[in-house]
Amino acid sequence: MNRRHGDRSRKALRKGWFEMIRISVILLATLACLHAQDGPVLFSRDILPLLSDHCFQCHGPDANDRHGDLRLDDEDDAKRPRDPFAVVTPHDSARSLIMDRLRTSDPDTVMPPPELGRPLSPEQITLLERWIDEGAPWGRHWAFEPIARPPLPDRDGGEHPIDRFVREKLDQAGLVPNPRASRATLARRLALDLTGLPPSRAEREAFLKDPSPNAWARLVDQLLESPAYGERMAWDWLEAARYADTNGYQGDRERTMWPWRDWVVRAFNANLPYDQFTIWQLAGDLLPKPTRDQLLATGFNRNHMINGEGGRIPEENRVDYVMDMTETMGTVWLGLTLNCARCHDHKFDPLTQSEYYQFTAFFNQTPVDGSGGDPQTPPVLEVDTTFTEAAPKVMIMRDRDETRPTYILDRGLYTARGETVDPNGPATLPPLTGRADGKRDRLDLARWLVSHDHPLTARVTVNRFWQMLFGIGLVKTAEDFGVQAEYPLQRELLDWLAAEFMDSGWDVKHLLRTIVTSAVYQQRATVTPALLEADPDNRYLARGARFRLPSWMLRDQALAAAGLLVPQLGGPPVKPYQPDGLWAEATFGKKRYEPDSGKALYRRSLYTFWRRIVGPAMFFDVAKRQVCEVKPLRTNTPMQALNMLNDTTYVEAARALAEDLLRSCENDRERLDQASQSVLGRLPHEDERALWERSLTRARNAFEADPTAAEAFLSHGASARDATLKASDHATWTAICLNLLNLDEALTKE
Amino acid sequence: MHHPSWQILQPDAPAPIRERQLAINRRHFFGRSATGIGTAALASLLGNDASIAAEAGLATLAQHVAPKAKRVIYLFQNGGPTHCDLFDYKPRLHALHGTPVPEEYIGGKRFSTMTGEANGKLMLEPVEPFRQHGQSGAWVSAFMPHTARIADELCFIKSMHTDAVNHAPAISFLLSGAQIPGRPTMGAWLNYGLGSPSEELPGFVAMTSVSKGTSCGQIFYDFYWGSGFLPSRFQGVKFRGSKDPVLYLKDPAGMSRTLRRGLLDDLAALNARKFAQMGDPEIETRIAQYEMAYRMQTSVPELTDFSDEPDHVLDLYGPQVREPGTFAYNCLMARRLAERGVRFIQCMHAGWDQHNSLTTELYTQCRDTDQPSAGLVQDLKMRGLLDDTLVIWGGEFGRTPFIQGELTNRPRWGRDHHPYAFTVWLTGGGVRPGISYGVSDDLGFNVAQDPVHVHDFQATLLHLLGIDHERLTYRFQGRYFRLTDVHGALVDGILA
């Protein structure tokens, strides 16, 4: 039996080997020359990153740290006449000072200075030379250029726009896209991506049987209309919004922001256009006659940590909060690391320290004074809800009548006040127009962010959604679109998506539908060694995404597969299982974690109570919810294995799934089929069956020989078990299901 | 003991140092030999695991030079400990106290933005007095009484210098050889190069601690123990700062060890099949991590059970050793990890960022780290472990010999980041004890003699473990990468 499988596998592998040689030959020939850039040198793609990496540290935007009276971030300064010639003389590299300083062998004058440890390669120096000889055309960082909808690459057939852009790059690289994944794989991929849950049995079966060419589109629409969609989308937004149920810091008092969280879910489900979604959250309170939802939405800003430590100076706290609100806005909408300009002009981006404080001025107008640690510091909104008897008070935004002056703070210190600044945007971005009286407030800021001529918001946003689906953004640094961000390989695609997003009326569901209906999204995720070598992060998109599910989704998946999930939307946070003693240890015994009972144990992970100083233990690689985070961490550690193997959540889910199998199936073969369908959405392959049978025999022998162990193994979790089932059978299948939940395939979206 | 048949996938497979760019370099290997580990895994599944190692080239192992140390304990002091106040005694600072930095010391230097220009800044004398200690006559200040007592064991490098002036880039630079985050760190390189001698614990363990009352909120980024482009199974495993460093260790009641062992073998077999089908290297890592998880279930409870430590040993580390999450606790953990063969142990302690707290928080900082560090060295020595364990104490840069803050406001004295000269100490495996290597100038401002750049330091560390830093490479996206980039020279003067 082993031998037979071996032969077949070897044959398959041999086939893979030929495929690999073919691809690797093409790759070696083509990927290398793509980087050499045969066409004209493009400033924003080829030159600016190089100047930024190697020169801006001393010759960049930071006026306080500039050397040699030279700015290489400024065309005029770089090209201005000097003795004996300009640093950059267009069309004449021989008479450009920069080339001398790059090529000299004198260690005292060579640039960059050796101690900086950032030498340019000979290829980079040649590239600069070519650029100068081509006329040294200047330009701006690509992400600050207006978004223009690029024309679709001219290709035959009515292909999807995304596929056209991607195919063009693949053709240039000599790569062949993977074929479409199987329908079963696709159903699971899509459901996890759009709802964070595996497809229900009915959804899956309907899709698999649907012969219509519209079957895929129908499934997409069905999932987008599911209430679970809003819950799935809310998780990432909560991480960006640093949402938590406590203040953070010592004391870590509890707060009531969950009605805001529920608004987020509702907003995604109602497909509130993203421009409105933005305006409501940043400035709903400043809208004319704001609705209760528009007020509630502004809770976004107030999700920051609150420092209630005794001895802290209120103004110091208040300034911290203002900076946090500002920087969160900067990361989420601008994709800029504003915090770098707190203390000094930005080292790389055209953003001065005073511009940083102009941004803070928008958020500097609330009546919050920073004193005390009251988690419900006014302004608050009393929210009508059916979940609790008393109307919860949620922190929201409101501006004072009197304008509070905003100062530039030397080194970011709240006491080191310099000049005052007014609210405004930075010079490098389109003008932020205010009202007739010339004043600007948060509403103007929000409207500016979602104006069609803003170069960043749409790009940054579609990139985050792309990242959600593909595991990595078209721009790898979802949190930074500044000059240090890479020039995106798929720049045209990014810009097309951004333009499409805005033109659709900032329709998030439309955007997601557009992406998931592409062939690129639906590709198989298999990878050959050669392709892995050439394109480890799948930037060319010659294959489907394959990555471990977020830990919160693993839990939801297990509950759903086991039939334990309680799909109730919204409400106060819940406390599922967590190892004993973690809160007590982190709070010197002041707080103790009491798990909930009953249905609250089986709610979606989204509703888990989040204590900031000691987050839920069952979630790994998640944002800490202390400051804004928009890029997921993805590690692969033994700790995760222990969590998945031993956490009560998974053992109980396995038990519930096993119970279902034992009740509804006739024999082991059927049980295995159904278990595999529930978790993986597919039937086992024949060679897998042998391995599962081996496990069945092991488990059955163990539990039949030790009835006490079987009883013990069935005792995990609070849900009742069906005592009419034979304990050894039930325990055996629980063990099988637990292994199933731990399969790499189960842990992974593929 | 039961060994699953696919054990070759483990990082503790025989140490895979390569003569030329051969063998374990997965991607390179894939490019040469059909289906690589996929075949290996599958073949072993099918009971056909003979000579996989040979096929993969894993068996051709050799260190480049004779190793002096087998493992490293890096006591990393995040924040930039002030060399001026701790180890690098400069009497002239007393003479120049309160006077502007002499111009000849500055010339084009770059400081953190907090300082900006060093011009006109006033010199600041050491906060505590210095005294010479031991046979070697090492200068150590009163901040570090316990370290002073073991001075004859230590090799001080007083001519360290680095390229970076801010914390995260400078820490990355020391640990990974690059300022930008995301390159493989030393622990990952060593486990990649040498394998992990411990079958029961990860080859690379990271632990973190912060002094109580530290005002500076420095963050421990995961990339400080990351594997970068090396396969993810070489990444450091971060232990929680708690009496349960690893959660979810216990098998659920009713699941016997035997049954779990068998079920994990089956799980691995199913995953290996998946790997052969998909080609995703993360699957391979997952198989290895599940196996490591199984082993840690036995090894970790025993590792963290200090009940077998007699009082006189605990006392070496000071009173905080009994408090999980402290630096002292982590130092004792480090010794226990070292005994169990862990290749690279990284204890990071934050809070050395005295911009305005030289006369306040620096005392706490030293109290929390001085005795545990010295205690660890003594403990290792008593057990004969110091002979083949390299211990390093140091941060990412030093601090300015001039003041940050007002001279008249002593309670708020501080010093800014200083990359041009700083001190680290080393001891154990192959390092000359009782010496001071390299000299900074008479103000501790610049290196005057025998400079040791970060890459030189890294090259020397690899050398002590038997590795030629120019030959430990990994091919990634068409280029062979090294820990030391294209730099680094061996510092002969500190070798025993």
Query: Could you tell me which of A374, A230, A356 has the C-alpha nearest to residue A302?
Result: A374
Partner B, chain A 281-320, Cβ-Cβ below 8 Å: none
Q: What is the pLDDT of residue B232?
A: 78
> What SS3 class is residue B63?
coil
Closest residue in B to A53 (Cα) is B180
The DSSP line for A592-618 is ------GGGGGS-GGGB---TTS--TT
Instruction: Tell me whether residue A506 is in a domain.
Output: no
CA–CA distance, B455 with B458 (Å, rounded to integer): 5
Complex confidence, ipTM: 0.90
Closest CA of chain B from A630, distance in Å:
15
Which one-letter DSSP state was computed for residue B445?
S
B254/A731 Cβ within 8 A: yes
Listed residue (B132, B130, B108) closest to B118, CA to CA? B108
Domain membership of residue A719 as a residue range: 646-749
Whether residue A712 and residue B254 make contact (CB cut-off 8 A), yes or no, is yes
Q: Chain B contact for A745, CB < 8 A?
A: yes
State pLDDT tens for residues A221-277: 999 999 999 999 999 999 999 999 999 887 789 999 999 999 999 999 999 999 999
Burial (CB count within 10 angstroms: exposed 0-12, middle 13-18, buried 19+), residue B172: buried
Does A10 score more than 60 pLDDT? no
Of the partner residues A534, A636, A646, the one whose CB lies closest to the CB of residue B282 = A636
Residues B160-211: tens digit of each pLDDT? 999 888 888 899 999 999 887 778 999 999 999 998 888 899 999 999 998 8
Tell me which H or E stretch contains B269.
helix B257-278
How big is the CA angle at A566 (ends A564 and A572), to the nearest 5 degrees?
A: 135
Examine the fold and report which residue of A123, A139, A155 is the final residue of a domain before the chain moves on. Answer: A139
The model's pLDDT over B144-158, given as tens digits with 9 standing for 90+, comes to 999 999 999 999 999
A242 conformational bin, left if phi > 0, alpha if psi -120 to 50, beta if neither: left
Chain A residues in contact with B222 by the CB 8 A cut-off are 633, 635
Long-range pairs for A186-192: beta carbons < 8 A, 24 or more residues apart? A186/A216, A186/A522, A187/A219, A187/A681, A188/A680, A188/A681, A188/A749, A189/A544, A189/A749, A189/A750, A190/A219, A190/A220, A190/A223, A190/A516, A191/A223, A192/A549, A192/A553, A192/A557, A192/A749
DSSP summary character for residue A717:
S
Asked if the Cβ–Cβ distance from B278 to A750 is below 8 Å, we say yes
Domain assignment present for A586: no
Rounded Cα gap, residues A354 and A351, in angstroms: 8
Looking at the complex, report in whole angstroms how far the Cα of residue B83 sits from the nearest Cα belonging to chain A.
Answer: 21
Distances (CA, A) of B441 to A177, B421, B422, B447, B491: 61, 9, 11, 6, 19
Across chain A, mean pLDDT equals 91
Q: What is the DSSP string of A542-564?
A: -S---EEPPHHHHHHHHHHHHT-
Can you tell me which residue has the tokens 């001039």?
B402
Helix (H, G, I), strand (E, B) or coil at B425: strand
DSSP A75-117: HHHHHS--SSS-SS-TT-GGG-HHHHHHH---TTT-SS-GGG-
The answer to the question of residue A703 being in a domain is yes
Quote the pLDDT of residue B49. Answer: 27
Inside any domain, residue A558: no
Q: Per the domain annotation, does A716 fall within a domain?
A: yes
Q: What pLDDT does residue B196 have? A: 86
Q: Which of A85, A117, A139 is the last residue of a domain?
A: A139
- Per-residue pLDDT for A158 more than 70? no
Buried b (16+ CB within 10 A) or exposed e, B188-219: bbbbbbbbbbbbbbbbbbbbbbbbeebebebe
**Residue A370 belongs to some domain of the structure:** yes
Q: Which residue has the tokens 């005792």?
A: A715
pLDDT tens profile A97-133 = 999 999 988 888 889 887 776 788 889 999 999 999 9
Quick one: closest CA in B to A651, which residue?
B252
Contacts A–B by Cβ distance under 8 A? 209
Residue A87 lies in a domain: yes
Whether A646 sits inside 8 A of B248 (CB atoms) is yes
CA distance B290 to chain A (A): 5
Q: How many CB atoms lie within 10 A of CB A120?
A: 18
Instruction: Give the residue on A whose Cα is nearest the Cα of B279.
Output: A527
Q: With both helix axes pointing from N to C terminus, report the angle between B186-194 and B454-464 in degrees, rounded to the nearest 10.
A: 30
Residue of A nearest to B475 (CA): A533
Residue-wise pLDDT tens digits, A377-436: 899 999 999 999 899 999 999 999 999 999 999 878 888 899 999 999 999 999 999 888
pLDDT per residue as tens digits for the range A705-730:
999 999 999 999 999 999 999 999 99
Distance CA A235, CA A261 (A): 9
Contact residues, chain A, for B276 at CB < 8 Å: 9, 12-13
A619 to chain B: closest CA residue? B247
Quick check: B271 contacting A, CB < 8 Å?
Answer: yes
Q: Which two tokens stand for residue A537?
A: 């992060």
* Record: contact A646-B251, CB cut-off 8 A: yes
Closest-CA residue of B relative to A23 is B31
Cross-chain Cβ contact A692/B266 below 8 Å: yes
What is the value of pTM for the model shown? 0.83
Closest CB from A116, A546, A694 relative to B280: A546
CB contact under 8 A, A712 and B253: yes
The secondary structure of residue A289, as a DSSP letter, is S
Q: Do A532 and B281 touch (CB under 8 A)?
A: yes
Residues in B touching A343 (Cβ below 8 Å):
113-114
Residues 659-688 of A with CB under 8 A from B: 687-688
Taking an 8 Å cut-off on Cβ atoms, the answer to whether A645 and B271 are in contact is no
Answer whether B293 touches A (CB < 8 Å). Answer: yes
Please list every residue in chain A whose beta carbon sits closer than 8 Å to the beta carbon of residue B214: none
Could A642 and B42 be called an inter-chain contact, meaning their C-beta atoms sit closer than 8 Å? no
Structure tokens that stand for A721 in this block: 């078990």
Question: A4 in contact with B at a CB cutoff of 8 Å?
Answer: no
Residues B347 and B209: beta-carbon distance below 8 Å = yes
Partner-chain contact B251 A716, CB within 8 Å: no
From chain B residues 20-39, the ones with a CB under 8 A of any chain A CB are 27, 30-31, 34-36, 38-39
In a 13 Å sphere around the CA of A531, the CA atoms on its Cβ side amount to 28
Question: Can you give the C-alpha Rg of chain B in angstroms?
Answer: 24
Q: Where in B134-211 does DSSP place strands (E)?
A: 138-141, 155-161, 204-210
C-alpha A583: how far from its chain's center?
28
Helix (H, G, I), strand (E, B) or coil at B248: coil
**Hey, is the C-beta of B237 within 8 angstroms of any chain A C-beta?**
yes
Q: How many structural domains comprise chain A?
A: 3
Q: Which domains does chain B have, with CATH numbers?
A: 7-64+251-289 (no CATH), 71-246+302-494 (3.40.720.10)
Which of these three, A432, A449, A466, is where a domain ends? A449
Give the C-alpha separation, A86 to A92, whole Å: 10
A455 assigned to some structural domain: no
> For residues A216 and A198, what is the distance between their CA atoms, to the nearest angstrom?
16
Question: Can you tell me the mean pLDDT for A192-205?
Answer: 96
